[in-house]
Every structure is written in structure tokens, then in C-alpha cells.
């Protein structure tokens, strides 16, 4: 039976490709989705790929992922640094989560060095641009297959 992975993206990630390309690169979220879909197809994995600027919607999707998926990749954007609600949703749902960031958050402003997601995540991938999503998929699948 194929595994299902949710890939959820937070605020402003819909602007990838045009938003601060010196930090986030020129790859669009649509291109990232296409590469994730292609990766998952070659690994017999179903993927649910979504983006929202709304914290509550992300909470609902995390809860859904806890019921309908084997794992979650989350780029919570700025909510990474502010949202206890996302932390609580991951913890309550029990979904195995990999946190991903396009930029290296530890080379940026100090307020970005703290994550509410990391304590409830299996691992964190940051600083590898769009490639971070495939790295996260690979790491999550390895983790799921070893447990």
C-alpha cells in the first residue's frame, strides 16, 4: 500500500519566485510542487500539497494529516517562529513531521533562530533552497520505513 505524505506551506510561500529571490531563490511554489510530485511518483508515494496564509487552515490540515497520512513536511514560513498552535496540532495529531525552510534560518535575523515546530519534528532541513523539499521527502521516507 502506498504511503501518503502531506506537504504544507505557510504564509507568503505562494509568492516564491518573486519574493526576495536573493533569499528564497527564483523557483516558484508550483515548480516545487511539480518536483515533489515527480519524486513521490518514483517512490510510490501519494502526496497532498497545499499552501495557506491562514494559521487556522494549517492547523486543520495538520490534524487531517494526522488521520489521513503517514507523514508531514511542513514549511510553516513565519509561523515557525510564532505559532504555538501549529506546535500543538503536530503534537496532538502525532503525525511524523519534517520541518523545512528554503533559507538557512540561522544565518538570518535572530528572531528566526527559534522554532516552535522543531521540538515536535523528526528533523529539520534548512538552507538548501527548493532542493530542501526533496531532501525532506527522502529523509521522511527513510524514517517512516525504519520504524
Q: Is 45 exposed, middle or buried (0-12, 13-18, 19+ CB in 10 A)?
A: buried
Which residue is catalytic, options 6, 24, 79, 133?
24
Give per-residue burial for 78-96: e unless 16+ CB within 10 Å, then b: ebbbebeebbebbeebebb
Between the CA of residue 146 and those of 16, 90, 139, 141, what are the distances in Å? 33, 21, 11, 8
Which residue is catalytic, options 6, 79, 87, 101?
101
Q: CA neighbours within 13 Å on the CB side: how many for 137?
A: 28
Is 101 considered catalytic here? yes
Task: Classify 121 as helix, strand or coil.
Answer: coil
103: nearest Cα among 77, 135, 126: 126
Is 6 considered catalytic here? no
Active site residues: 24, 101
Amino acid at each position: 500500500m502506498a504511503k501518503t505524505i502531506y506537504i504544507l506551506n505557510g504564509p507568503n510561500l505562494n509568492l516564491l519566485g518573486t519574493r526576495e529571490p536573493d533569499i528564497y531563490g527564483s523557483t516558484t511554489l508550483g515548480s516545487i510542487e511539480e518536483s515533489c510530485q515527480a519524486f513521490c511518483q518514483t517512490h510510490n508515494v501519494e502526496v497532498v500539497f497545499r499552501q495557506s496564509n491562514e494559521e487556522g487552515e494549517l492547523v486543520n490540515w495538520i490534524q487531517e494529516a494526522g488521520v489521513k497520512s503517514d507523514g508531514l513536511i511542513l514549511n510553516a514560513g513565519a509561523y515557525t517562529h510564532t505559532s504555538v498552535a501549529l506546535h500543538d496540532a503536530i503534537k496532538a495529531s502525532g503525525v511524523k513531521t519534517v520541518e523545512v525552510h528554503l533559507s538557512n534560518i540561522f544565518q538570518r535575523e535572530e528572531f528566526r533562530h527559534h522554532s516552535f515546530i522543531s521540538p515536535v519534528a523528526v528533523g529539520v532541513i534548512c538552507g538548501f533552497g527548493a532542493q530542501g523539499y526533496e531532501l525532506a521527502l527522502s529523509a521522511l521516507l527513510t524514517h517512516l520505513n525504519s520504524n
